[in-house]
Amino acid sequence: QKEVEQDPGPLSVPEGAIVSLNCTYSNSAFQYFMWYRQYSRKGPELLMYTYSSGNKEDGRFTAQVDKSSKYISLFIRDSQPSDSATYLCAMRGGNTPLVFGKGTRLSVIA
Amino acid sequence: DTGVSQDPRHKITKRGQNVTFRCDPISEHNRLYWYRQTLGQGPEFLTYFQNEAQLEKSRLLSDRFSAERPKGSFSTLEIQRTEQGDSAMYLCASSLGGLTNEKLFFGSGTQLSVL
Q: pLDDT tens across B81-103, in order?
A: 999 999 999 999 999 877 777 88
Report the C-alpha gap between B93 and B85 in whole angstroms: 22
Nearest CA in chain B to A100: B42
Q: For residue A54, what pLDDT is reported?
A: 86
Q: Which SS3 state, helix, strand or coil, does residue A81 take?
A: helix
Taking contacts as CB-CB distances below 8 angstroms, the residues of chain B near A100 are: 42-44
Going residue by residue through chain B (115 aa), what tens digit of pLDDT does each one get?
579 999 999 999 999 999 999 999 999 899 999 999 999 999 999 999 999 999 999 988 899 999 999 988 999 999 999 999 999 999 999 998 777 778 899 999 999 999 9
Q: For residue B1, what pLDDT is reported?
A: 52
A107-A108-B3-B7 Cα dihedral, nearest 10 degrees? 30
Distance between A58 CA and the closest CA of chain B, angstroms: 16
Q: Shortest CA distance to B93 belongs to which of B103, B84, B79, B78? A: B103
Q: Which residues pair with B91 in a beta bridge?
A: B35
Going residue by residue through chain A (110 aa), what tens digit of pLDDT does each one get?
679 999 888 999 999 999 999 999 999 999 999 999 999 989 999 999 998 888 999 999 999 999 999 999 999 999 999 999 999 999 998 778 899 999 999 999 99
Check CB contact of A59 with chain B, cutoff 8 Å: no
Q: For residue B72, what pLDDT is reported?
A: 84
Q: Do A103 and B41 touch (CB under 8 A)?
A: yes
Taking contacts as CB-CB distances below 8 angstroms, the residues of chain A near B102 are: 32
Q: Which residues pair with B106 in a beta bridge?
A: B93
Q: Which SS3 state, helix, strand or coil, does residue A96 take?
A: coil
Taking contacts as CB-CB distances below 8 angstroms, the residues of chain B near A49 are: 101, 103
Report the C-alpha gap between B62 and A61 in whole angstroms: 39
Q: Shortest CA distance to B94 belongs to which of B43, B49, B60, B55? A: B49
Q: Could you tell me the end-to-end alpha-carbon distance of chain B, in angstroms, rounded to an integer?
A: 33
Distance between A108 CA and the closest CA of chain B, angstroms: 19
Distance between A110 CA and the closest CA of chain B, angstroms: 25
Report the C-alpha gap between A32 and A71 in whole angstroms: 13
Taking contacts as CB-CB distances below 8 angstroms, the residues of chain B near A88 are: 42-43
Q: For residue B20, what pLDDT is reported?
A: 98
Task: Please confirm whether the linkage preceding B43 is cis (ω < 30° from 0).
Answer: no
Report the C-alpha gap between A102 and A90 in whole angstroms: 10
Report the C-alpha gap between A22 and A19 in whole angstroms: 10
Check CB contact of A23 with chain B, cutoff 8 Å: no
Q: For residue B12, what pLDDT is reported?
A: 97
Distance between A16 CA and the closest CA of chain B, angstroms: 26
Identify from A36, A52, A98, A104 which residue to disrupt to test chain B contact, counting B C-beta atoms within 10 A and taking the largest count: A98
